[in-house]
Structure formats: structure tokens, C-alpha cells
Amino acid sequence: GPVIEALVLLFCLSQSLLCPGPLDTASSGFLGNLLVVPMDGSHWVGIKAIAQEMGRRGHRVTVLIPEISIRMGPGKHYDTVTYPVPYDKAHIDSIMSSNKDMMQTSAHSFTEKIWKGFSKIQKITGFIHTTAESLLFNVSLISHLAQQNFDAVLTDPMVPTGSLIARKFGIPTINLLRGIPCSLDMKSAGCPSPPSYVPRFLTRYTDKMSFQERAFNTLVSTYSQITYALLCTFVHLCSVMPLTYRWLYWTEVLSESAIWLLRMDFTLEFPRPIMPNVVLVGGINCNVRHPLPEVRSWVSGEHGFVVFTLGTMLSDLPEETTSVFLEAFRQIPQKVIWRYTGQVPDSFPENVKLMKWVPQNDLLAHPGARAFITHAGSHGLFEGLCHAVPMVMMPIAGDQADNAVRFASRGAGVVLDIYSITTESLLQGLNEVINDTSYLMKKKLLKSRYKENMQKLPAVLDLNWLQYYCLDVIAVLATVVLFFVILIVKCLKLCLWKLSRKRKQD
Amino acid sequence: GPVIEALVLLFCLSQSLLCPGPLDTASSGFLGNLLVVPMDGSHWVGIKAIAQEMGRRGHRVTVLIPEISIRMGPGKHYDTVTYPVPYDKAHIDSIMSSNKDMMQTSAHSFTEKIWKGFSKIQKITGFIHTTAESLLFNVSLISHLAQQNFDAVLTDPMVPTGSLIARKFGIPTINLLRGIPCSLDMKSAGCPSPPSYVPRFLTRYTDKMSFQERAFNTLVSTYSQITYALLCTFVHLCSVMPLTYRWLYWTEVLSESAIWLLRMDFTLEFPRPIMPNVVLVGGINCNVRHPLPEVRSWVSGEHGFVVFTLGTMLSDLPEETTSVFLEAFRQIPQKVIWRYTGQVPDSFPENVKLMKWVPQNDLLAHPGARAFITHAGSHGLFEGLCHAVPMVMMPIAGDQADNAVRFASRGAGVVLDIYSITTESLLQGLNEVINDTSYLMKKKLLKSRYKENMQKLPAVLDLNWLQYYCLDVIAVLATVVLFFVILIVKCLKLCLWKLSRKRKQD
């Protein structure tokens, strides 16, 4: 049914530059009935693309959408079923504005920042939780859906709502995701992650580690349960726990997934083993589909243009940040297309065009695109990579900081701190990616490597068997432990001896 | 260059039923210069298909072929460069006839059989060795090739000639293969093979093993070096050693491969982790490309027809075996198309057509195909699987016996022993696959599973961490070892004690 169709489609989409055929072929007879349980925000982008394409190919596609959402909505090739939620648009707007609020805290104290950050996470997880419960506990809707004989559920497993529905209906789940913190995705998919060459999250190691690095990586990996508790519980427990009732349940539900479509690519990730039901679809959204009538005059200048978007969650900025950007744009010869929904400033440079929404991928695909100012969300980064546009990255939340470091380390752009940005630093960053020819060369190289990524050899091949099994690490760690045990025993003995001697003297 | 092109092509070919687009699209500008170092026999089939398709897409493709070969030759879309070899066609014919000879030994004694088998392997490995040396030590040809700036080498790494040339030229290697004995392919590609759910070669275990099975599998895996020596040295050392000078060198050369295109599929293999440069292309040869003018009248009967081929290495049979087959065919209503190059018997049934070559895949794709009598080579089995034709499998050599057991265990056909075949057993096998409706159902199921194979969940997900790391196995094995160590120590002590007492008494 749709499971296979989705897979083949995604194989081809991810190889879109060379393999455009299947998009135009008629449906091949495997008509299916697909239920889609999406996540809001940027997570909606990839899911919507698949829902549309599946519908266009003649499948019946039903998308479950809350009555009120950030950006989810109907499409040409799928049906939507909405369900009531106990919040209104104003509540969503207040959550969205928390990112803008965060920007304004630069003047505030450290504790205020921490508090703001905490309250932001609490707001978002509470929101996710409420949305999920509104669907899962909507008995009449669930029983209505149960009668419709769906073949599979397509979902984003960051929140396991879709997975829980699939489990209830006894049908397979297809996951589309960027990743789940604490490597829950790899763990649930059963992919082995030998600590000898698979660097752990947050270590910032590469796949070629020194002995010390391998030792630390092994420790992090061994105590992953503790890392879990320390790093992930806070973020996830609040939103997930009430849905799944017990902690283990989540990986249990996730491990039943039929297919994992991961929006990643081995140009950026280090080679590591994956299971056969894990399919890499990074760049799935790079296909150019639309002409650019609305902005044609803007993209035809001799100096080209800069694309500037900060993603779904941040389309508005505090006044002082906005003027920092405008002042920089006034000083460059390029035109700027900026996705901005906030207050329009009284005067702004002639070369800047503010738009409430921009056709980001189509703009980046245009040969006039010189730079991409981005919050380093994975969709945007892959689009920049596919079309070889160098990037000025300003990570805001989630995986963005990690993404930015990886892309920058591979020569795809520079990273700036949006919370402390100045006109000078922005101009310097733009100048570096637009005028530094080595950047353009690196970008071209990376673009070709993005297609040739299979050629990168796994680091495991450089390890001897002692290193592979971390036996050297284990030996050293065991020696250290033994040393301390002996030390403690000796100390205790000494204490006891002194104590007993003292008693005798008494 | 051609590396990417080949990859994308093969992705699409392996998904051919749903993804036919790219075959008809024009070349996308990545024109490359590909050197092809093929292996002879059935190994040539897949390599030739890629060479043809790459040439058709506008790449420059050069295929290195010995002056005298079993079936390698020129094609429409690639150039061939031939090199002299110190043997003649008669030598090849004598090697080919050794399979027929083996059939005639059924009357002979056990030692004679062993001796014939040994001499057959010796002949084949000697032949491979001579061919490889003729190319590698042809200094003028190699230096001529070195000047042609090839981008990559496409080869079958069962014999590392191509890999060694790629190493010499400093260009990437693309492997197309079914597998290398002793899992040298997985080892060289760096794919982890945890013994807790990856069954070892020759154990015949599935991925769900009992404690005893896991214990044995772990032992086999731990002592893989010994298994190496015991099982693989004999077969491979003779042909490979003189080329690579030292044993380790082979895995060293292989581990430098850029891409592994494996002609396998997870419908038949148990889910296991693979590295990103390993691409599964089982079924690559299932594409139907040719009409069937020559045999049209033969395939249109109401009872359908049976396809009978025993592969490149056995197109001729001893007279008594031939008459066993003919007698069986006389008694079935189906027509039979038999690839047979041997002596044509004086009288044979009207429903049998002997041909020197058959369009095997096109015949199997015809809706009239009722059964496929095959030696269980991987190309043929995938073609049977793709087109859902049940199979009567008669394995002869190499991986064929293993293939046959896997396909049979999944309901794709029955296995018969060609060395002891009778008219009755053949009739029974044919009847079972042609008339047993449960077979047809299983086949249809398998056909759909072949496309939905991603849905099969890895067995690793059913293991707890004790089982995953084989800690239970290690504990038991350690206890056993400890028990024996204690036992031996006690015995020694007893002996020493008795000895010393005796001495004292003396």
C-alpha cells in the first residue's frame, strides 16, 4: 500500500536532481488509504509535501489537524479532518512571541534569562501536550477514524500521538523526522552506535576520536541512561509522560515503527550503521516546483539578492534588532528579500523587500541568490546546500545550534549570535560568504559531495579491534577504578587502625 | 562522476516496478569515464547491465575483457579492451564440463566424488588466477589505461583485480556483488554484525535465536578467524593469495571500496545494520525490456509453460539425466522451454523446445510462466521472485544451496537434489509448485513483501540488553571454562599429591 509508495517516492525525491522521473509518472496501482498525524511549525513542511504527493498519485490521504494551528491547513490533494482544541489563536500567538521576547532579554539579568527560557519551554511542551490529548481523548473522532480502514499512519514521532493511534488501529507507522533528542530515534530503530566511532550528542566530537575523546564518548554512552535523565527528562517528560503513562513506553511505541524517514544526510553526519528500515531523505524539500512571478524584478539585478528568513517560530523581531539588520542591508549592493510579519519600520532601505511569506526554496534555487540568512533549521539548510547558496546562520532553538556548527565546519557558511548581533558583525558575515571566493568554492565542493556522499569511508575502517571494542578504554577505566578502590580500602584500613589504636589507648 | 550516476541508476533499477522514470531520462550532465573490470560467468550479467546503461546515458565506459572468455563480449554502449591470456577456448570448455562430470560421478565412490570436487575447485581457482595475472602483469596495457584518466572502477570484488587497479590509479572502486564467503564483504565495509541477532554463515539460524543458538553463533563469531582458516582458506587462498601477497591485504584493499552494491534483499536476508555506502540492489535485473517474438507460439498455450535453465556453468547434461527430465516433461500439459547446448536426443516430447540461449527474465515476466526450474543462482531467483513464478530449485555450487534453502523456507518453491533426481521426484516437485494453490498464494505474498520488505522489524528490538550484548552467553561460557579450569587444577593437584605420596613411600 502507501507504505511502499511513500518509500519509493522519498527515495526519488531525496535524489531529486538526478531522478526526477517518478514525480511525473502516474500512480502505479498501489492505491492506499493513508492517515497523517502531523506536527505543527516547521515540522509540517516535510509532512505536507508527502501528503500532497501521495494524494496527487491517487491515494486517499486524510490529515488530522487541530482547529487552531500555527501553519497547518488544507491542501489540494488531501482531505483534512479537524478536531477541537481548548485554546485560541491568541494563545498560539503568545507562544510564538516568546521567541521575540527571548531576543529582548539581552538587556536582562542571567536569572531572568533562565526563567524566560524555562517558561518558554514550559509553554511549548504544555501546548504540545494539550494538542495531543485533544486528539487522543476525542473518543468519537478516534472511533470514527477506526472504521475507515487506513493502511498506515504517517507521522512525526517527536510527539507520539500518531504512533499511539497506529498502535490502537494495529497498522504500520511511517515516521518522518529530523531526529529525537538523546538518540531515541536510533535506539528505537535498533541501529547499533559503537562509541568507538559514533560520536555522542553534545560531545561535538567527529568520528575520528583521540583516546581521551573515545574514553569520554564511551562514558557518555555507558551512562546514557543517566544522560537521559539529566538532559532529556526535563524537555520531554513534561510533554510526553502524560501521554504514555510510563517512560519506557515511549521507546516501546517508537520501536514498532515500520519505516524511519530521517531528514539527514551523510554529507553532514558521520558514516554510521543504520538498519534497513531507516531511509535518509535529507534534501527531500529541494525540488524546485514554482516559478517566481511575484519577485521577478527583485531577483534580476546584477548584484543578485540575499534571502532572509528566521523560520516559522520567528517572523517578527524587536525594534532594535530590526534596525540593526536594516542598517546593514543599507550598506550592501545586493537586494534583500526578508520574510517579516512584524511592524513595518517607518523608513527602510530601497533594496529591502519585506514579505509575509517567501518561496524560500524557489528563491534559493535562483542563480541570483548570493546569500541566505537563516535560523539554521534543517529544511532551510538543506535547501541552501542543494542550491549551493552560502549561509549566515543565526541559531535560535532546538537542533539549530548543532546544525549550524556542522554546516559551518564544512564551509557552508558562518555562524552569528542573533542575541548580540551588531550591524558590523552582520556586514562582516555577509561580506565573508558573498565575496570570499574560497566560500563559493567550498560550497560547490560541498554540493558535489552532497551527491557523492556515499564515497566517504566509515571511520570504523581505521580502527584496530582493540579500539573498535574500546578495550583500551575499558582497560584504562578499569585501572582507574581499581586504583581508587584500593586507595579507599587502604584509607579505610588506616582509619580503622588509627581508630582502634586510639580506643586501645583510651 | 559516474559514481553517483551509477548509484542513482541502481537505486531506481532496484525499484524498477515503481520507479521506471530515470531509465528513459537523458543523461543529466554528469558525464564520466568509467573503467569496468568484470568477472566471467553469471557474474557478468549484472556488470554488463550497468556498463550498457552507463554508456547509454552518455558516459565513456571501457570494459576489460580477456581475449578468451565464457560469455563476456562487446555491447552496444561500451568499448571493450581485450588482453591476451595463456589458455584457449578448449581449456574453458573443459572447466565448464566439470559440472557435467560431477553429475556423472553419482555412480562413483565417495573418495572419487571428493577428488572430482577438489579438482573442479582447483581448475576454477587456477583459471581465475591466471586471468587476473594476465591483466595485472600486462605492463603496457596497465600503463596505457593509467593515461586515460578514469573516474572510477566498477568491478566484482570476488577477485580483487579491479580493486587493485583502482588502488594503483588512485580512483574509487564501485563493487557489484552477491557477497564474499566468510562475510568478507560486511567486514570490509565496516558493517557491525552483533552475534545476538545476525546469524553467521553456515549456521542456518534465523535472526531469532534460542539461547543455545546464540551461544553457538557467538562462538562461531568469536572464532571467525579460525572459521576463516578452516572454511575459506582452501577456496580462496589458491586464487587470491598470489595476487595480494598476504592474507590481510585483501580485506585492506576491499575496505577502500567507495560503494558496495549488494545483489541482496531484505525479503530474504534478516534485517541487520549496514553502512551508508552499502546499497542493496537485489532484483536489479528484473526489468522487462524485450518482447518475445521467437517463442511467442510457445508461450500462448492455455496450460502455460515451464522455463528451465541451469545457468552459465551447466547448459549440458549427462544422457541419463537428460532422459529423466524429458520423461517428466512428457507427462505434464505445460510447454517447456529448456536452455540446452548439449547433444539433442533422438526423440523428445513435442511440448519441449530446446534453445541454446533463452531470454530468461522476459519469459518469467510473461503471464503464462507457471514454473521455473533453476540451479538457484541469485539472478534467476530474483527474477522468479519479481515475477512471482514458483521455482523448482536444483542447487549445484557456490551460494546456490544457501539461496535455495532461503527461498524455499519462504514459500517460493521446492528444492530437489539434481544428483539423485528421478522422473517421479521431478514430477512431484513440478506438480507441487504448479498446482498447489497455497504456493501461488505464498508467492503473491512474497512478491508484495519483496516490495514492502522495509516493514519487517529487526529482531534486535526483541532482545533485552543482557541478550543484546550476549552477557548471558558470556556468563555461561565463562562458568563452563571456570568449571573446567577448576576441574583440571583439582585433578593436577590430586595427581601431584598421589605422585608425592608415592615418592615418599618409595
Q: How many helices (H) and strands (E) does chain B have?
A: 21, 13
Residue of B nearest to A450 (CA): B4
B93 to chain A nearest CA, in Å? Answer: 40
CA angle A33, A37, A42 (to 5 degrees): 125
Which residues contact residue B350 at a Cβ distance below 8 angstroms, ignoring those fewer than 6 apart?
none
pLDDT at B16 over 60: no
B391-393 and B369-374: which strand pairing? parallel
Report the residue of chain B nearest A274, measured CA to CA.
B273
The per-residue DSSP string of B91-109 comes to HHHHHHHHHHHHHHGGGS-
At A253-309, the pLDDT tens digits run 888 888 888 888 776 778 889 887 887 777 767 766 667 766 777 777 788 999 999
State mean pLDDT over A12-23: 34
pLDDT at B449: 52
- Beta strands A391-393 and B259-262, pairing class: unpaired
Q: Determine whether the interchain pair B18/A8 forms a contact, defined as Cβ–Cβ distance below 8 Å.
A: yes
For chain B, say whether A258 makes contact (Cβ under 8 Å): yes
Indicate the class that CATH gives domain B2-97+124-190+223-280: alpha beta
**pLDDT value at position A288?**
60
Q: What is the mean pLDDT of residues B132-137?
A: 89
- Partners of B260 in the β-ladder: B175, B278
- What is the phi/psi pair of residue B128, to 5°? -60, -45
Least confident of A281-285, A411-415, B67-71, B440-444: B440-444
Q: Is B31 on the interface with A (CB under 8 A)?
A: no
pLDDT digit string, tens, across residues B269-302? 788 898 878 877 777 677 656 677 667 777 777 8
Q: How far apart are CA A128 and CA A126, in angstroms?
A: 6
The average pLDDT across B365-375 equals: 90
Strand partners, B176: B261
B78 touches B63 (CB < 8 A) = yes
Residue B106: the pLDDT is 58
Q: Does A452 touch chain B (CB under 8 A)?
A: yes
**Using 50, 70 and 90 to split pLDDT, how confident is the model at A16?**
very low
Tell me the shortest Cα–Cα distance from B303 to chain A, in angstroms. Answer: 28
Please report residues of A whose CB lies closer than 8 A to that of B187: none
How far does chain B reach from its first CA to its final CA, in angstroms?
A: 87
Amino acid B332: pLDDT: 93
Residue pair A11/A280 in contact by the 8 Å Cβ criterion: no
The yes-or-no verdict on residue A46 having pLDDT over 60 is yes
Read off the pLDDT of each residue in B145-167 and give the average, rounded to a whole number: 90
SS (H, E, C) B8-59: HHHHHHHCCCCCCHHHHCCCCCCCCEEEEECCCCCHHHHHHHHHHHHHHCCC
pLDDT of residue A225: 55
Give A133 to chain B, closest Cα distance, Å.
Answer: 28
Mean pLDDT, residues B353-372? 87
Tell me the pLDDT tens digit for each residue of A372-393: 999 998 889 888 887 888 999 9
Contact: B277, A458; criterion CB under 8 Å: yes
Please report the ipTM that was assigned to this predicted complex.
0.73
The CA distance from A114 to A119, in Å, is 9
Alpha-carbon gap: B386 to the closest alpha carbon of chain A (Å): 15
**pLDDT tens-digit readout, B52-87:** 877 877 788 999 999 999 889 999 999 999 999 999
Q: Lay out the sheet containing B79-83: strands in order across.
A: B79-83, B60-66, B33-37, B152-155, B173-177, B259-262, B278-280
- pLDDT for the residue numbered A23: 33
The residue among B368 and A96 whose pLDDT is bigger is: B368
Residue B248 has pLDDT above 70, yes or no: no
Contact (CB, 8 A) for B29 and B8: no
Q: Would you state the cell numbers that stand for residue A480, as one nine-digit string?
A: 582507574
| CA A472 and chain centroid, separation | 35
Of the segments A20-24, A58-62, B304-308, which one has the largest average pLDDT value? Answer: B304-308
- Amino acid A228: pLDDT: 55
Residue A4 CA to residue A27 CA, distance in Å, equals 12
Q: Contacts of residue B454 in chain A, CB cutoff 8 Å? A: 3-4, 7, 258-259, 276-277, 279
User: What pLDDT score was predicted for residue A232?
Assistant: 57
Indicate the residue of A3, A20, A191 with minimum beta-carbon distance to B273. A191
In this predicted structure, what is the pLDDT of residue A365?
85
What's the gap in Å between the CA of A253 and the closest CA on chain B? 11
Q: What is the mean pLDDT of residues B152-174?
A: 89
User: Of the CATH numbers 3.30.70, 1.20.120, 3.30.450, 3.40.50, which one belongs to the domain with range A2-190+223-280?
Assistant: 3.40.50
Instruction: Answer whether B190 touches A (CB < 8 Å).
Output: yes
The residue of chain A with its CA nearest to that of B264 is A276
DSSP 8-class letter at B389: -
Q: Is the pLDDT of residue A78 over 90?
A: yes
Nearest CA in chain A to B1: A452
Average pLDDT, chain B: 79
Chain A residues close to B258, C-beta within 8 Å: 454-455, 457
- Average pLDDT of the segment spanning B97-119: 72
> Residue A505: pLDDT above 50?
yes
What value does the mean pLDDT take over residues B411-432? 91
Other C-beta atoms lying within 10 Å of the C-beta of residue A262:
20
| Burial of residue B424, with CB atoms counted within 10 A of its CB: 0-12 exposed, 13-18 middle, 19 or more buried | exposed
In this predicted structure, the answer to whether residue A313 has a pLDDT above a threshold of 60 is yes
Q: Locate B322 and state its grid cell.
A: 537428460
List the grid coordinates of A347: 523608513
- Tell if the CB–CB gap between A455 and B258 is shorter than 8 Å: yes
pLDDT at B400 (0 to 100):
84
**What pLDDT was estimated at residue B385?**
83
- Residue A237 predicted with pLDDT over 70: no
Judge whether A377 and A42 are in contact, CB under 8 Å.
Answer: yes
Q: What residues does each domain of chain B span?
A: 2-97+124-190+223-280, 296-435, 465-505
Would A2-190+223-280 and A296-435 be classified into the same CATH topology?
yes
Query: Of A400-404, A411-415, B335-339, where does mean pLDDT reach its minimum?
Result: A400-404
Kindly identify which residue of chain A lies nearest to residue B18, measuring between CA atoms: A28
CA distance B306 to B336: 5
Which pLDDT belongs to residue B5?
A: 47
Q: How confident is the model at residue B42 (pLDDT cuts 50, 70, 90)?
A: confident
Closest-CA distance, B280 to chain A, in angstroms, reads 9
The superfamily CATH assigns to domain B296-435 is: Glycogen Phosphorylase B; (3.40.50.2000)
State the burial class of residue B333 (Cβ atoms within 10 Å of its Cβ: 0-12, 13-18, 19+): exposed
Work out whether the CA dihedral A123, A129, A134, A137 comes out positive or negative. negative
pLDDT at B215: 87
Nearest to A142 by CA among A35, A242, A217: A35
Does any CB of chain B come closer than 8 Å to the CB of residue A22? yes
Q: Please name the residue of chain A whose CA is at the shortest distance from the CA of residue B17.
A: A28
Q: Which one of A24, A190, A280 has the shortest CB-CB distance to B461?
A: A190
The yes-or-no verdict on residue B99 having pLDDT over 90 is: no
Q: Provide the whole-model pTM.
A: 0.77
Which grid cell is B203?
549456521
Q: If pLDDT is split at 50, 70 and 90, which confidence band does A202 have?
A: low
